[in-house]
Amino acid sequence: MADITWEEPFCAEGNNCFRIGTDPTGNAYIAIAGQEDHPLVDSREALRALIRAVKAGEADHLL
């Protein structure tokens, strides 16, 4: 697996912890804390787009 630099886990509601990581080749990773060996992988730009969309409320219907 790539050399991933993971951020500290983000936890809400106690048990729902996610981690975001990046690698030197421009990939971004999202994983459940403790399951970093099974991440969702895409480009850093895709991760930026996802975060911007969530912040803009485009995923509010999922709440």
Q: Across residues 13-26, what is the average pLDDT?
A: 87
Token output for 63: 């709440």
By the 8 A CB rule, do 57 and 32 touch?
A: no
By the 8 A CB rule, do 17 and 33 touch?
A: yes
Q: Across residues 8-26, what is the average pLDDT?
A: 87
With a cut of 90, say whether residue 63 has pLDDT above it: no
49 vs 36: CA distance, rounded Å: 22
Residue with structure tokens 């803009």? 56
Q: What is residue 49's predicted lDDT score, i.e. its pLDDT? A: 95
H or E stretch covering 29: strand 27-32
In which band, very low, low, confident or very high, does the pLDDT at 4 lie, cut at 50, 70 and 90?
very high
pTM of the model: 0.77
Q: Across residues 32-43, what is the average pLDDT?
A: 93
Cβ partners under 8 Å of residue 24, min gap 6: 2, 3
